[in-house]
Amino acid sequence: MEIDRRAFIASLGGAAAVAAMDHEAKAEALEHYMEEQLDEQVAANQGGQPEKFPTVAEIEAQIETRPFRRGTGSVFTGQRGQNVKKITPMPDQPTLKDFFELRFAPANHVLQSATRAMKTGMSEEIILACLLHDCVLSLIKPDHGWWGAQLFEPYIPEKSAFAIRYHQTLRFFPDEQAGYEYPDQYYRIFGHDYTPPQYIQDTYKMLKNHKWYMEPRLVTVNDLYAFDPNAKVSIEPFTDIIGRHFKQPKEGLGYDNSPSAHMWRTLARPDNPL
Ligand SMILES: [Fe+2]
Ligand SMILES: [Fe+2]
């Protein structure tokens, strides 16, 4: 597959941003980029034919074709069956920015979502929620709304944590008025005949009548699946919002005895055997 180097470098924020990335981050960025390009090519090759989405049974049949489970966090798996690489150690008192650079990278998806939230005039709590909403996928994937909220909860406003926790549920339920459609990506990854389990349905029922319904809804509205190769994204535009709303512990994330400190430590040292 041919890579447009210029578009790829631009997608990462330019040559300087690429130069600052370590090997691992570059490899992962390239991997994501190629996946997106591949999806686009597949779509284009179908020449206007509607895409054929897999069934739940077809997706389930793939389970035993992989050496890892789909729910494994991305820091724990090699790319495309490759061996994993040595990971850059975290500084002694790691900050959110350090985790963005060394564990959540390339983080294009969340950076693009937060950029969009900023452009569409969202509140700072929602911009922050968009910036953090899928970061926990580095650690674990199933129930990432709940895991993600738990990871960040000690450090962020209650509304942002609420938005992160429940965006996962609202992703399954369209809301035309809010401008949110069921994503094609979900037909692709869950199967076109997938029905969310009972606890997700129950959570949706609870959310519909909740005074904060719009908080997670706005995360879904700004949640982008289309990867824009020309979008320049970086964490810099969010420095002020992080400074105002993210309570960075002075001991560093992982060492402040918060209820989620162990989760940060696991992210910091994914090679520890116990
Ligand atoms: Fe998500
Ligand atoms: Fe997302």
Taking the centre of ligand 2 as the mean of its atom positions, its distance from the CA of residue 242, in whole angstroms, is 19
CA 166 – ligand 2 centroid, Å: 12
Residue 128 is classified by DSSP as H
Separation of CA 141 and ligand 1 centre (Å): 9
Specify which of 24-28, 117-121, 202-206 reaches the highest per-range mean pLDDT.
202-206
Least confidently predicted of 4-13, 145-154, 159-168, 170-179: 4-13
What is the pLDDT averaged over residues 174-190?
Answer: 95
What pLDDT is recorded for position 227?
62
% of the chain beyond a pLDDT of 90: 73
Q: What is the pLDDT of residues 36-47, one digit of tens each?
A: 555 555 555 555
- Nearest ligand, measured from the Cα of 137: 1
Give mean pLDDT, residues 56-66: 95
CB 258 within 8 A of CB 140: no
Rounded to the nearest 10°, the torsion over CA 129, 131, 134, 139 is -110
CA–centroid distance, 104 to ligand 2, in Å, is 13
CA of residue 138 to ligand 1 center, whole Å: 12
Residue of 193, 182, 258, 264 lying closest to 223 (CA atoms): 182
